[in-house]
Amino acid sequence: MLKKLLCIACAAALALGTMSLFVGCGGRQVEYDPDNFIADPDSEQIVKEKITINMFTMKASIQGQWEDMYLFQELERRTNIHVEFEEVGLKDVDQMKGLKWEDTENPTDAFFLGNQPYEIAQYSQLGALRELTGYDEYTGNTEQNLLELYAPNYSHWMEEYPEIERVTTQADGKIYAFARVALNAEGGEVATQYINKQWIENLNLASFGDTYVGESGLPETTEQFYNTLKAFKDYDANGNGNASDEVPIIAAMNDASLHFLSSAFGFVGTGIEIDNRETVLDDSGNEIPNPNYNKIVWVPSTQEYREYVQYLNKLYTEGLMHDGLFTNNDTNLNSLGIQGKLGSFTSSGAYFVVGQERDDEYVALPPLVSEHNGTQMVWEYAPRFDPSALIIPKTTPYYREIIRWMDQLYALENESLQYRGEKDVHWREIDDMEPTYDPIRGEDLKRWELIVPEGMDEIAFQATLTYQAGLGNAVFTTVDYDNSGDPYRMKMIEERQTYYPYLKRHLPQISHTAQELEEISALEDSINTYMKNNYGRFINGEQDPFNDATWEEFLNNMARFDYQSITQKYAVAYNRAFPDAPCANELQ
Amino acid sequence: MKRQSKGDFAFQIVVYVLVALLCVIFLYPLIYILSLSFSSPEAVYYGQVTFFIKDYGTSSSCARS
Amino acid sequence: MKEEVSVLAESRESSKTLPGKTGKKKLRAWYKNWQLYLLALPALAIIAVFCYAPMYGIVIAFKDYNVIQGIGGSPWADPIFKHFTEFVTDPYFLDMLWNTLRLSLCSLLVFPLPILFALLLNEIRVKSLRTTVQIISYAPYFISLVVSVSMCFTFLEYTQDRVGIINRMIMLFGLEPVKFMESAAWFPWIYVLSGMWQGLGWWSITYVAALTAIDPTLYEAAEIDGASRLRKIWHINIPGLLPIVSITLIMNLGNMLNVGFEKVLLMQTDLNYASSNIISTYVYEKTLGSVIKQYSYGTAIGLFNNIISLVLLLGANFTAKKLGGETIL
């Protein structure tokens, strides 16, 4: 009898335990009150009674809870909206975002940062996103759309820079996302290729005519660059008595150095690209019109790509390029840099890699030209206007509040909140340095520096103030963002100026329909697999890029993956985006 | 005590040699990784750690402050 | 032995001739053992809820799934087998299939190693030494996959700054060092041998247990017949292991296409991609690894993979039955 009772008790306990698997079914209970919203765009306060809004976002590992950041606490104080952030680390953000869309119990009200073009295209097509150019459903006003009514700052920038509207408009003519607006430079973001000027002077390379360097004192062609690297390797460039410990150039797969080198041959990338060079050079160095002018091409099928791969092969097999190309990471670069062994590398700032003592030795190398390409170009890896800042799902009733909240970030007077906090509390002006003129505000801006507490790292300090630390640019930046008084940052920004005349993206930003994106991606995935396979083998010499038969085979195999369709699809989308200046591809 | 034939004796030797070899193969990587985590990062990077800890420092194994 | 068989046969016969009574007998048997069934109930519930119920999600292999419309709302693929044909006509299909099979074949090739290790262990006379060696051999099994793959990379690398231990030994012998992780030809061997380093001790446990279960009188008989150690192994140990070996062999054959994807994904680099591109890593690439997540396509490939595995398993089992050996189904 006792045994029976015991058994029943155990069974009941187990049953309850299994039931606990199904708990957690609940939803948001708060009712939406449309009168709570303050529609006047001039008032800082957005709602009368405090409300809580959920936002989904990505975060860098250095950041803590976003609600604790000074920026968001200050915004909450002004706008009376408490934003509850759900932060996900960069590596998992794609997966978690997908799950979040399916989450009907705790839906989010907005997706902040990191929205991919494909997501925006597909979700807007399925009707899951709130149109920012739609109308306010609560007041029934159909004369002005939501952006005009509630986002005066953002609308102002849209008027000043029509590019913003062009890149955020989807294939159906409507706008669904806020764009990141970077007005701090004449172009988007670019990485700097540094070269060790000190070594060039040590070896007195300028005295050999134009074998090693051009008139500027730095290598200007790929030929000169090769010779300079060889000199770095063969002779004792860093003056420590050991002639063979220098690493002439170091790179990691897919980092900006490889893009820098391929730009010398005519294309900034190794995928789809539009060729806007008007002229190319023939074998005797004369300019001839470019047969591919204004055509969208698949770069690996071109002669220029072959020359680039041959050049890389030469650098790698002769030991000029560090042979950890396929396994290098930041730690390697840092280690070698601090020891003074690096001749050339890529980074946003030299002092990140080689430390502050050696920062002076390095200068930015202007884009190179090569035997058949006379046009200098450099890869712009992030554009000025990037439609990824914020999207709003259709299911949330708080869209007006979110638009007004987001608009606060685009106001000129709020700009400094986004990366340095409050004046004289977190940062101070530097009076004895030359101020910078800001064309947008029309006044001189004094340089600033952060007031970092003792023992704290600068970036870690910034991470307590704002979301921007560790994640790249803020949602809205002007010249003021680059106006730090830190001498190393100043040098970094100055070096970057070298590249602004030559910026190129592989394709201008064009929007596709979700259908097009899917087809293109399916084709591109397969061909990129094939490319991955062969690219490395050409560089390390397993396959010989100088051998015509091998190259023919490579091209034939690649044709199996139908890259012609890829260029066709891009050409169609391009012509739709630029009807007045279509590309030169023949459409079928 | 059973008398072992010469063949069996040789066989025993082979067995013990193989077992010793296998023990080294199983244990060495574990000890190596342990030494790596207690050596200084520079020594690790340049491959100077082969078995014993070199330049003891907990910087690479302790959490970042 | 013979008596047991005949009793079983009798009881089977008796239950055959009295159908009505069988039904009642069965119900009574169930009721008598209700505690056991109750004990099994939560486990069955968990399997039902977490393994069988989600299977309806396989339907997305036949749809164009997207996150917004969910499993129920997504449109059907047009034509319905679109994803399957897309996979089979992919230019890399044969390569992937061959890479997967090759990894399995290499695993099969090293299949005898745990058996040999068990035989070796069995030859150690001193019991304490034998247990110590056994424990040392299981130690690598508990190392996580990520750590063991990173050990692989560390030991096998060869760049101008750092030379891993294996390449150092190779250079000691005067041979050319090899960049193992950047070579497609070496990949299957590194995969299999590093797996063997981790698993040798663990997989030999079953065989060691089987060896201890061998009747000691057989050894005494062999001793009297004057057999040397080696002959004893050949005539007693190996036949004693054969039933277990055939079962594990069948299980391995059935798993031919199920090469574990985490390890291959961790060991995959751009340069050994020609050998390391297998079906399961391709599924990962298509669904979670790319910007545009093609969940439907990935599910279709996974389903295809599983069907082929099932066919292989049934085929291996059937062949084993035909050949008169032990079977698991």
What CATH number corresponds to the domain at position A60?
3.40.190.10
Closest CA to C277 of C76, C116, C88, C96: C96
A328 backbone φψ class: left, alpha, beta (φ>0; ψ -120 to 50):
beta
Same domain, yes or no: C178 and C274: yes
> Which residue, C44, C73, C102, sits at the end of a domain?
C73
Distance CA(A502)–CA(A367), nearest Å, equals 8
What is the average pLDDT value for chain C, to the nearest integer? 83
Same domain, yes or no: A184 and A233: no
Same domain, yes or no: A326 and A182: no
- Report the residue of chain C nearest A11, measured CA to CA: C38
Number of domains in chain A: 2
Quote the crossing angle between the two packed helices A399-408 and A70-79, to the nearest 10°. 120
- Report the residue of chain C nearest A514, measured CA to CA: C292
Domain range for A223: 201-379
Same domain, yes or no: C63 and C182: no
The answer to whether the Cβ–Cβ distance between A533 and C68 falls below 8 Å is: no
Phi, psi of C241 (to 5 degrees): -85, -20
Closest CA to A53 of A68, A67, A35: A67
Distance CA(C169)–CA(C190), nearest Å, equals 16
Place of tokens 């957690």: A24
A583 domain residue, yes or no:
no
The answer to whether the Cβ–Cβ distance between A126 and C69 falls below 8 Å is: yes
A531 domain residue, yes or no:
no
Burial class (CB in 10 A: 0-12, 13-18, 19+), C8: exposed
The answer to whether the Cβ–Cβ distance between C163 and B47 falls below 8 Å is: yes
A1 domain residue, yes or no:
no
Domain spans in chain B, listed from the N-terminal domain onward = 1-65
Q: Considering only the beta carbons, identify the residue of C120, C140, C197 that sits closest to B19.
A: C120
> Which residue, A481, A502, A523, sits at the end of a domain?
A502
The answer to whether the Cβ–Cβ distance between B42 and A335 falls below 8 Å is: yes
Same domain, yes or no: C89 and C237: yes
Amino acid found at A400: R
Q: What is the DSSP string of A449-508?
A: EE-PPTT--HHHHHHHH-TTTTT-S-SEE-GGGG-B--HHHHHHHHHHGGGGGGEE-SS-
pTM as predicted: 0.82
The answer to whether the Cβ–Cβ distance between B18 and C120 falls below 8 Å is: yes
Closest CA to A492 of A315, A354, A363: A363
Same domain, yes or no: A355 and A426: no
> Which residue, A482, A502, A522, sits at the end of a domain?
A502
C327 domain residue, yes or no:
no
Instruction: Give the number of other CB atoms < 10 A from CB of residue C252.
Output: 14
Same domain, yes or no: C274 and C304: yes
> Which residue, A379, A408, A431, sits at the end of a domain?
A379
Same domain, yes or no: C59 and C164: no
Per DSSP, the three-state class of A210 is coil
Burial class (CB in 10 A: 0-12, 13-18, 19+), A389: buried
Distance CA(C111)–CA(C249), nearest Å, equals 8
Same domain, yes or no: A260 and A171: no
> Which residue, C18, C45, C73, sits at the end of a domain?
C73
Give how far B39 is from chain C: nearest CA, Å: 15
What is the distance between the terminal CA atoms of chain B, rounded to a whole angstrom? 65
Taking a C-beta distance cutoff of 8 angstroms, is the pair A513, A173 a contact?
Answer: no
The 8-class DSSP code of residue A440 comes to T
Same domain, yes or no: A149 and A224: no
Per DSSP, the three-state class of C257 is coil
Place of tokens 């996959």: C145
Largest CA distance in chain B: 66
Quick one: pLDDT at residue A139?
84
Tokens matching residue A160: 């000043």
A556 domain residue, yes or no:
no
Same domain, yes or no: C23 and C113: no
Domain range for C31: 2-73
Place of tokens 């299949």: C111
Taking a C-beta distance cutoff of 8 angstroms, is the pair A193, A346 a contact?
Answer: yes
Same domain, yes or no: C40 and C182: no
Quick one: pLDDT at residue B63?
42
A273 bridge partner residues? A297
C125 domain residue, yes or no:
yes
Determine the residue among A10, A339, A529 to mutate to test chain C binding: the one whose Cβ has the most chain C Cβ atoms within 10 Å.
A529
Q: Kindly state the average pLDDT of the residues C60-66.
A: 88
- Report the residue of chain A nearest B43, measured CA to CA: A335
pLDDT per residue as tens, chain A (588 positions): 788 788 777 767 776 766 665 554 444 557 788 888 888 878 888 888 888 999 999 888 788 888 888 889 999 999 889 999 998 888 778 778 878 887 778 888 999 988 888 888 888 888 889 899 888 888 888 888 888 888 999 999 999 999 899 888 888 889 999 999 988 888 888 889 999 999 999 888 888 888 888 888 899 999 999 999 999 999 888 888 888 888 999 998 878 899 999 999 999 999 899 998 998 998 888 899 999 899 999 999 999 999 999 999 999 999 999 988 888 877 778 888 888 889 999 988 888 888 888 888 999 999 999 999 999 999 998 888 988 899 999 888 888 889 999 999 999 888 888 888 888 888 888 888 888 888 888 888 888 888 888 888 887 888 888 888 777 778 898 888 888 888 888 899 889 999 999 999 988 888 888 888 888 888 888 888 788 778 988 998 888 999 999 999 999 988 888 899 999 999 998 998 888 888 888 887
Same domain, yes or no: A176 and A217: no
Same domain, yes or no: A168 and A224: no
Distance CA(C11)–CA(A478), nearest Å, equals 90
Same domain, yes or no: C39 and C130: no
Tokens matching residue C19: 């159908």
Same domain, yes or no: C14 and C101: no
Same domain, yes or no: C235 and C87: yes
Radius of gyration of chain B (CA): 20
A516 domain residue, yes or no:
no
The answer to whether the Cβ–Cβ distance between C92 and A529 falls below 8 Å is: yes
Phi, psi of C296 (to 5 degrees): -60, -45
The answer to whether the Cβ–Cβ distance between B26 and C197 falls below 8 Å is: yes
pLDDT for residue C133 is more than 90: yes
Phi, psi of C67 (to 5 degrees): -65, -35
Same domain, yes or no: A372 and A388: no
pLDDT tens figures, B2-61:
556 777 888 889 999 999 999 999 998 888 888 878 877 767 666 666 677 766 666 555
The answer to whether C158 contacts chain B (CB < 8 Å) is: no
Phi, psi of A182 (to 5 degrees): -110, 100
The answer to whether A487 contacts chain C (CB < 8 Å) is: no
Instruction: Give the number of other CB atoms < 10 A from CB of residue A218.
Output: 21
A550 domain residue, yes or no:
no
Peptide bond into C239 cis (omega under 30): no
C328 domain residue, yes or no:
no
Number of domains in chain C: 2
Same domain, yes or no: A146 and A212: no
A161 domain residue, yes or no:
yes
Same domain, yes or no: A328 and A428: no
A133 domain residue, yes or no:
yes
The answer to whether the Cβ–Cβ distance between C161 and A336 falls below 8 Å is: yes
C103 domain residue, yes or no:
yes
Same domain, yes or no: A374 and A392: no
| Cβ-Cβ contacts under 8 Å, A17 against chain C | 42
| Cβ-Cβ contacts under 8 Å, B18 against chain C | 120
| Cβ-Cβ contacts under 8 Å, A98 against chain C | 67, 293
The answer to whether C163 contacts chain B (CB < 8 Å) is: yes
Quick one: pLDDT at residue B2?
52
Tokens matching residue A132: 């920012």
What CATH number corresponds to the domain at position C216?
1.10.3720.10
Helix H or strand E encompassing C107: helix C93-109
Taking a C-beta distance cutoff of 8 angstroms, is the pair C199, C137 a contact?
Answer: no
pLDDT tens figures, C267-313:
988 888 888 888 888 888 888 766 677 888 889 988 988 888 788 77
pLDDT for residue C145 is more than 50: yes
The answer to whether A202 contacts chain C (CB < 8 Å) is: no
Quick one: pLDDT at residue B65?
33
Same domain, yes or no: C280 and C185: yes
Same domain, yes or no: A441 and A401: yes
pLDDT band at C324 (very low <50, low <70, confident <90, very high): low
How many CA atoms lie less than 13 Å away from A478 in the CB half-sphere? 21
A87 bridge partner residues? A57
The ipTM (two decimal places) reads 0.76
Determine the residue among C41, C67, C163 to mutate to test chain A binding: the one whose Cβ has the most chain A Cβ atoms within 10 Å.
C67
